A and B are shown apart, each in its own frame.
Chain A
Amino acid sequence: EIVLTQSPGTLYMSPGERATLSCRASQSIITNYLAWYQQKPGQAPRLLIFGASSRATGIPDRFSGSGSGTDFTLTISRLEPEDFAVYYCQKYGSSRPTFGQGTKLEIK
């Protein structure tokens, strides 16, 4: 079973800054079946990125995903106040999909 490790656990940033979140897999994800989700308090998660780099419908272009193999990154180019939330990566497309433990993006 592939384990996803996200870093950092908490990221303190200011609006307007660029945020970089990391997701590292214990084994190579050859198919690039890697998604990113955003979750705000009291809400269900929302799909941001799938296939490592494709934006989901309606997601602003300040969100971008990159990476391959074992190292994946979610970048938010210019943080808006509504972007402060928890972000999870997920490996899918196998019999044992898994989530990372999450990165909390907090206002500095």
Chain B
Amino acid sequence: QVQVMQSGAEVKKPGSSVKVSCKTSGDSAVTYAFTWVRQAPGQGLEWMGGIIPLFGTTNYAQKFQDRVTITADESTSTAYLEVRSLTSEDTAIYFCARGVVVAGHKGAEPGQLDSWGQGTLVTVSS
């Protein structure tokens, strides 16, 4: 059973950046993917992007392409999400999920999200 542990809650000023971490443990899989999903208060799930650490490949939702960076450190099984130029609309719970890798049309892509972190609340307020 994979455990996913995220970093703690953050309070940020508009225009600043935040970096959230996600560490997994409990298995020895070599091929896996990290995905970041956010949920604004009272809203649904929004896919932000993902990374396959073994290949170093990343994908981002178009709306986040210019101000989000997802990285991963295979040696520590940790993924990171950095969001820049924060506004109040970025106030949300940010979830990290670990999942399998599947064969997509253009090669390996993140699959279903098996294991989820507890979520990190990011509050953007002046």
**Complex Cα gap A63–B62 (Å):** 33
Judge whether B116 and A93 touch: CB under 8 Å: no
Q: How large is the interface on A (under 10, 10 to 19, 20 to 34, 35 or more residues)?
A: 20 to 34
Given contacts A35-B113, A44-B117, A96-B62, 15 further A-B contacts (CB under 8 A): A1-B62, A33-B111, A44-B97, A45-B37, A45-B45, A45-B95, A57-B114, A88-B44, A90-B45, A90-B47, A90-B113, A92-B102, A94-B109, A99-B37, A99-B45
One of A90, A95, A98, A99 near B109 (C-beta < 8 A): A95
Interface residues of B in 77-97 (CB under 8 A from A): 95, 97
Q: Are A44 and B119 in contact (CB under 8 A)?
A: yes
Contact B109 A37 (CB under 8 A): no
CA distance A31 to B102 in the complex (A): 10
By a beta-carbon cutoff of 8 Å, the part of chain B in contact with chain A is: 35, 37, 44-47, 50, 59, 61-62, 95, 97, 99, 102-106, 109-114, 116-119
Residue interface mask A69-100, B partner, CB < 8 A = 1: 00000000000000000101010111111111
